Amino acid sequence: MIQIVYDDSGALSAQRNAEIPHPKSNEILIKTVACGVNRLDLLQKAGRYPPPPGESPILGVEVSGIVEKLGEEAQSKCNLKKGDAVCALVGGGGYAGYCAIPWQTAIPVPQGVSIVDAAGIPEVFMTAYSALYWSSSMRQGESILIHAGASGVGLAATQLVKALSGGGKTFITSSSEAKISFCSKIVGGELHGINYKEKDFAEEIVSATGGKGVDVIIDFVGASYWEKNLKSIAVDGRIVLLGLLGGSVTESGLNLGMILRKRVAVVGSTLRARSLEYKRRLTEEIVTKAVPLFEKGLLKPVIDSVYPLEDVQAAHDRMQKNLNSGKILLKF
Average pLDDT over residues 117-139: 97
For the cut 80, the answer to whether the pLDDT of residue 253 exceeds it is: no
pLDDT of residue 246: 83
pLDDT of residue 96: 98
Percent of the chain residues topping a pLDDT of 70: 99
For the CA atoms of 87, 59, 42, 146, the dihedral, rounded to the nearest 10 degrees, stands at 20
The pTM (predicted TM-score) of the whole model is: 0.94
Cα separation, 160 vs 29, whole angstroms: 30
Upper half-sphere CA count for residue 200 (Cβ side, 13 Å):
8
Long-range interactions of 252-260: CB distance < 8 A, separation 24+: 252/227, 254/226, 255/226, 255/227, 255/230, 258/230, 259/230
pLDDT of residue 101: 96
Other CB atoms within a 10 A radius of the CB of residue 157 amount to: 30
Average pLDDT over residues 145-159: 96
Q: pLDDT (tens digit, 9 = 90+) per residue, 182-214?
A: 999 999 878 999 999 999 999 999 999 999 999
For the cut 90, the answer to whether the pLDDT of residue 254 exceeds it is: no
Cα separation, 48 vs 248, whole angstroms: 14
Strand partners, 173: 194
What are the chain's domains?
3-121+272-331 (3.90.180.10), 124-268 (3.40.50.720)
Q: What angle (nearest 5°) sits at the alpha carbon of residue 47, between those of residues 90 and 149?
A: 60
Among 42-46, 98-102, 253-257, the minimum mean pLDDT is found in 253-257
pLDDT of residue 249: 82
The H or E element containing residue 320 is helix 312-320
pLDDT of residue 250: 79
Cα separation, 332 vs 321, whole angstroms: 24
Cα separation, 273 vs 268, whole angstroms: 13
Among 130-144, 253-267, 300-314, the minimum mean pLDDT is found in 253-267
Upper half-sphere CA count for residue 303 (Cβ side, 13 Å):
18
pLDDT of residue 166: 83
Query: In the chain, count of helices (H) and strands (E)?
Result: 11, 15
Average pLDDT over residues 278-302: 98
3-state helix, strand, coil in the chain (%, to 5): 35, 25, 40
Q: pLDDT (tens digit, 9 = 90+) per residue, 165-186?
A: 988 999 999 999 999 999 999 9
pLDDT of residue 73: 96
For the cut 90, the answer to whether the pLDDT of residue 126 exceeds it is: yes
For the cut 90, the answer to whether the pLDDT of residue 12 exceeds it is: yes
